[in-house]
Amino acid sequence: MYRFLPRLASGATVRAALLALAVAGSAPAHALFGDDEARRAILDLRQKFEQANEQHRNEQQRLAEQLDMVRRSLLELNNQLEQMRNEIAQMRGQDEEMARQLAEMQRRQTDLSQGIEERIRQIEPQKTVVDGKEFLARPEEKRDYEAALDLFRKGAFAEAAEAFQSFQRRYPGSGYNEVVLYWLGNAQYGKRDYKNAMATFRSMVALAPTHPRAPEAMLSIAMCQIELKDRPGARRTLEELIKAHPQSEAAAEAKERLVALR
């Protein structure tokens, strides 16, 4: 009966031992043991019970300590997880900020490139076609020509003449030169400056005798000569025009003028 007692360790085992002791205690002691032997057995049993109970308390304390340690570990692990979540959130925020800054840099770079291209376009010569002639003209060159021509179209002949002469000084090698001479002569004619108009038309014809406006320039020379009372000179000019550009509209008008001059 006593050989199983050293193995008592758990609460369930202790309770089973107490139940066995109670059952044993309910029977008459002298039926199983003598008084001394029964007393020693009881003391021995109590001692072993106390030892088992102490061992059980120690085990519970050890388990409680282990459980507390596990709880602290879990708490620390939760803290670490929370810290990691915060760090991940910060990293995501940094990534979003970097992406925003990158997009902003790309937008600025695009704006800068477009600005440079626009400035280059504003100063770079552009292909221009005037009266069938193709040439390169800088933007400001084209702008000044159009401004002078606009003055002429408005009938501001003096201002137009000044603008065309200014254009000649600013752009001496311009592809507009022939047509500028043509419109300058017309502006001078418009303000009744026939001598200078005639000289300007002559310059235009000498510079570009095959220019589409050369026949009209020659007709204008003849008109200046008529205004200056140089009828013989006008007839010679009209005859030269008919000979040089017989198929032109100016030649047809020159023929009519010749008839009128006779």
pLDDT of residue 4: 42
Identity (one letter) of the amino acid at 153? R
Query: CB under 8 Å to 98, separation ≥6 — which residues?
Result: none
What the block records as the tokens of 253 is 């008008």
The answer to whether the beta carbons of residues 183 and 204 sit under 8 Å apart is no
According to CATH, the topology of domain 126-261 is 1.25.40
* pLDDT, tens digit, 9 for 90 and up, residues 12-22: 554 555 555 54
What is the pTM assigned to this prediction? Answer: 0.60
pLDDT beyond 70 at 262: yes
Q: How large is the angle between the packed helices 11-26 and 35-123, nearest 10 degrees?
A: 160
Q: Counting Cβ atoms within 10 Å, is residue 240 exposed (0-12), middle (13-18) or buried (19+)?
A: middle
d(CA 211, CA 67): 108
Residue listed under structure tokens 């810290």: 83
Q: What is residue 261's predicted lDDT score, i.e. its pLDDT?
A: 86
Residue-wise pLDDT tens digits, 49-69:
899 999 999 999 999 999 999
Phi, psi of 208 (to 5 degrees): -140, 75
Does the CA dihedral 244-249-252-253 come out positive or negative?
negative
Q: What is the pLDDT of residue 3?
A: 45
Q: For residues 41 and 2, is the Cβ–Cβ distance under 8 A?
A: yes
Confidence of residue 85 (pLDDT cuts 50, 70, 90): very high
Higher pLDDT: 32 or 143? It is 143
Q: What is the tens place of the pLDDT at every residue in 95-139? A: 999 999 999 999 999 999 888 888 777 778 889 999 999 999 999
Query: End-to-end CA distance of the chain, in Å?
Result: 167
Answer whether 1's CB lies under 8 Å from 32's CB.
no
More confident residue, 113 or 185: 185
Give mean pLDDT, residues 155-167: 98
Residue linked to tokens 């205690």: 25
- Indicate whether 241 pLDDT > 70: yes
pLDDT for the residue numbered 237: 97
What gap in Å lies between CA 101 and CA 170, rounded to an integer? 47
